[in-house]
Structure 1
Amino acid sequence: MDEYRDEQARELPELEAMKEYMEDIPIPSGIDATIWSGIKAGRQRRRRRVFSRMAAYTACLLLVVSVASVRFSPEVAAYVGEIPGLKPLVELIHYDKGLELAIDNDFMQPVALSEVRDGIKMTIDGIIADESRIIVFYTLENVDGQKSVVHFQGVRLTNIKNMSSSYGSAAFEEDWKIRQETIEFQPEDGTRLPDTLELEMKFNKVSEAATTDTVWHFSIPVDKAKFEGLKETYDLNQTVTVEGQRITFGTMTVYPTRIGVEVNYDPANTKKLFYFDDLRLVDERGEEFSSIMNGVSGSTLDENRQVLYFQSNYFKKPKHLYLRASSIRALDKAKREIKVDLEQKKLTTRPDSQLTLKDIGTSADDGQGILIFELKNDNPLDQDRMYSLFESNYKDASGKSFQSHMTGSSGNGSDTEYEYYIPKGKYQSPLTLFIQDYPTRIHGDIDLKIK
């Protein structure tokens, strides 16, 4: 940590002066060692399991992917080298060529606002923003060196209504020291950004000494002159048919941080089309700009309309551009309902033999029921893919609707286990769940010329 601080001091002398304001909050006494040990043991048992809270934003399709190796284009690397302190931030978005291009074209807005609360220093490092998307870069430092488990509990912009968000890691393990993360905000169409973003972030910290909830507030200035009016619009209005399923591509809007393509599915289609496996934009040089795979990948307008998001080529200004794809994950509409017999612990309806019900259990933490499924899938296209199998809403035999707010997944290779949590209550069996994504496909070459 000392090495990191020395590097920051060398790189950011002018910004460090802005970070000196801090507020120390004493850590209250609290949970005992027994509870702390139980928390650690529980986390060890679930170390290999990936959990996610189902988003309350029904308009968003969220895909969160771990960031691995770091490689930049020469242009981005050179640009980063000229601005002190930016390199660690740009490493967070190396997976998105459009954001690299945005940074290369001076789209990063440094912020450098810091506060210390409950032994944790939070710094809002910078933002990238346009009319379609806001990405906030932040750093957390464990300045008191105390072992703790930190949970991200929520974030919002208090001065903007109807704003959805997505973020990366939701929990930091007990031996964490420094974490750099991003938060993405998506304003509704037509929302005009204010001159200042009022950011509120909530964290829960569990240590041997105490359990505390901490809220940070930051006022982040926004240089709107960087992006206002920077967009290009194309009316595609082209329809294709893949294995009898009709798809119409409507308006495409190109922003500096991403591209949005409106997609309409014919209500008369016999299959529910979930996601394109390989939809991408290709220019005259053969360079591809693929779907956004870390952050918001699309927005649902209604049952048969979506806006799908791509990495942006706004700063490339291609002479020719094509929209291409070859496979789409899809399922017969009649097979989307899964019925779970709670007494017999079996599936009475399912899409195929790949999906089975392994068990029905109970969460030791809060008593929720857990439906444990297994999905067998050896398709090479799904080698590194984790499916969000079910929608959050489900119903029982009486027709009453309920909501699940957490799912889990574990395993690798061809066998993956999925956990679907249902709140405690009395249900009339069977339960009906609804497939949200599934590894069955339709195939056909899509090749549309945009310009």
Structure 2
Amino acid sequence: MFKNEEEKLGHYKNELDNIPVSLGSLDNAIMAGFHKAKSEQRKRTRKMRGIYSFVIAALLLIGLFSSIKISPAFASYISEIPGMEKIVKLIDDDKGRMAAVEKKYYQKQGVSDEKDGLKVTIDGTISDEKGIVLFYTLQSKEKIKEIQIDKVNLKAKDGTVLDEASISYGELHQSEKGEHSFSGEIEYFFEAPLTAKNYVINIEVKGKKFSLPFTLNDFKAKKEYTINKTMELEGQKIYVEKADIYPLRVAIHLKMNPNNTKQILNLEDLRLVDENNEVWGKISNGATGLGDKDTEQEIYLQSNYFTDPKELYLVLNSAQAVDKKDLIVIVDTDKLEIQKQPNGEMLQNIRFEEERGLVFELHSNKAFNFELFGDITDANGNKIEVHEQSMSSSDRKGLTELGIKLPPKNTYKNPISIELNYYPSWIKGHEKIRIK
């Protein structure tokens, strides 16, 4: 009855099975994710307060995922819901969301609005008290080669104010031959728990505005684990306060030790591991963290909510970090000179290009596909608004080119100071904390 669904799900499983789960394979997985994200060009908006790691190049850390377990019951469930196959394809890199679907926590919506031959449908949702993921389909009577959602706005019907922490939407859907239908996701996460159940999402596509009402079922309550333990990598301490486990993701609450001599930039290696060594890694798309990297943070991992293992550990073996004195790169854009950077001089050969603006070459030992640069200020301390950042990999191993589109030179005073958000420098350790 569901042979076709089993075969297709089996295909997804085989793809993951052929990827080693060792940490040594992480770089290749990141590279694949970078190229995928680069082609998709997802739009993301954020609150400026505290969201430091809203990933532009979505990192598909498939190397940390164990294979998807496919059961006949799951395949049967997929076959019973029209269009469910496309939902599975959208979430097959997130173990938590796959588990939510398998446990029938996915909620079918099926609401549509149509304008001038273009139809927008909210197929379904997965939600909890802190977030809503909406799965949509864009359908056109004529074949189209390129389309994306331009704007979204979510409102509670009862007027409840929604304190948005992050929004993710706007995947660029492309087809060389043209298609009648494309599917994607819209993600909302909130500062305060949701109380409303009835919503309207307004979506703009190609200048057309669509309004789609939907209702959410009751949420499953979060699972909270108090930890209050410290992880340490090469003398740098990270205090782990608690873990909140929601159906959509896990929030790990951390505090950085003010006496650390290094600035910890990214904990891409942080993960949950159960007694059978099954791993739940970082969120692969959307917001991966919230807070201030100098003090308190929330790091988001894939959810093990529906697995409920007997034992659960928080594991960390490495983190991106630089000496605090090296956190700022200083550049004279008139002289095209790097006046200050971390030891090793990995940033080289800066130049101006018409298309990409100020271009740096990053020379590292292995592929590094993170957007390095954060806030930029001029010599007077005035913030410089960056129009665009770009990244391209070279055939040469370990060479990445980074572009920053700056405003005209006469609008700022040299030299400029660039804060590092990421950098190919790591501290190591073997930290494993039992949280359950």
TM superposition score normalised by structure 1? 0.78
- Measure the CA separation in 2 of the matches of 1:296 and 1:389: 17
- 2:115 is aligned with 1:117: yes
Structure 2 unmatched runs, 5+: 5-36
Q: Give SS of 1:89's match.
A: helix
2:261 to 262, 270, 273: 270
Per the TM alignment, residue 51 of structure 1 is displaced from its structure 2 partner at its CA by 6.3
1:154 aligned residue (145, 151, 154): 151
- The code of the aligned residue for 1:415 comes to L
Q: Which of 314, 321, 328 is matched with 1:337 structurally?
A: 328
Aligned runs of 1:35-74 on 2, under 5 Å?
Answer: 55-58=45-48, 59-60=50-51, 61-63=53-55, 64-65=58-59, 72-74=68-70
1:97 to 95, 98, 109: 95
Q: Retained in 2: the 8 A contact 1:53–1:406?
A: no
Match of 1:359 in 2: 351
Asked whether the equivalents of residues 136 and 183 of structure 1 are also in contact (C-alpha less than 8 Å), the reply is yes
Distance change >3 Å, CA 297–CA 176, structure 1 → 2: farther
CA-to-aligned-CA distance 1:429-448 (integer Å, 9 cap, x gap)? 11111100111000010011
CA distance in structure 2 between the aligned counterparts of 1:286 and 1:54, rounded to whole angstroms: 33
Q: Which residue of 2 aligns with 1:448?
A: 433
Superposition deviation, residue 358 in structure 1: 2.9
Larger Rg: 1
Aligned-residue sequence identity (percent) comes to 29
SS of aligned partner of 2:182? strand
Report the TM-score when normalising by structure 2. Answer: 0.80
Q: 2:361 matched to which residue of 1?
A: 374
Helix, strand or coil for the counterpart of 1:402?
Answer: coil
Instruction: Note if 1:241 corresponds to 2:232.
Output: yes
The amino acid across from 1:438 in the alignment is Y
- The alignment's C-alpha RMSD in Å is 2.8
After TM superposition, the structure 1 = structure 2 runs for residues 422-437 of structure 1, keeping only pairs within 5 Å, are 422-424=406-408, 426-437=411-422
Aligned partner of residue 334 in structure 1, secondary structure: helix
State the partner residue of 1:400.
382
Contact persistence 2:202–2:211 (CA under 8 A): yes
Letter in 2 for 1:417: E
Q: How does 1:17-416 map to 2 (within 5 A)?
A: 55-58=45-48, 59-60=50-51, 61-63=53-55, 64-65=58-59, 72-75=68-71, 76-145=74-143, 149-159=146-156, 160-163=161-164, 164-167=166-169, 169-170=171-172, 172=174, 175-177=177-179, 178-188=181-191, 190-204=192-206, 213-223=207-217, 225=218, 227-228=219-220, 230-301=221-292, 303-351=294-342, 352-363=344-355, 370-379=357-366, 383=367, 385-391=368-374, 393-412=375-394, 413-416=397-400
Q: What is the distance in 1 between the residues matched to 2:144 and 2:269?
A: 45
The Cα of 1:347 is off from its aligned counterpart by: 1.3
User: SS state of the match for residue 99, structure 1?
Assistant: helix
The letter of the residue matching 2:352 is I
How far apart, CA to CA, are the structure 1 residues paired with 2:209 and 2:324?
44
Residue 299 (structure 1) shift: 1.3
- Distance of aligned partners of 1:291 and 1:66 in 2 relative to their CA distance in 1, 3 Å threshold: closer
Structure-1 separation of matches of 2:144 and 2:313? 53
Deviating 4+ runs (over 6 angstroms): 47-54
Q: CA deviation at 1:168?
A: 5.9
Could you tell me how far 1:237 is from its partner in structure 2? 0.3
Which sections of structure 1, spanning at least 5 residues, go unmatched? 1-6, 8-46, 205-212, 364-368
Alpha carbons of 1:406 and 1:161: their partners in 2 closer, same or farther (altered >3 Å)?
farther
| 2:42–2:170 Cα contact (<8 Å) kept | no
Aligned length: 383
Structure 1 CA distance, aligned partners of 2:82 and 2:175?
A: 29
Contact kept in structure 1, 2:152 and 2:201, CA below 8 Å = yes
Aligned mates of 1:50, 1:423 — CA distance in 2:
26
Deviations 1:394-439 (A, max 9, x none): 1111221122242111124421111112234522111111100111
Task: Provide the rounded CA distance (Å) in 2 between the counterparts of 1:65 and 1:141.
Answer: 28
Is 1:321–1:450's contact at 8 Å kept on the other side of the alignment? yes
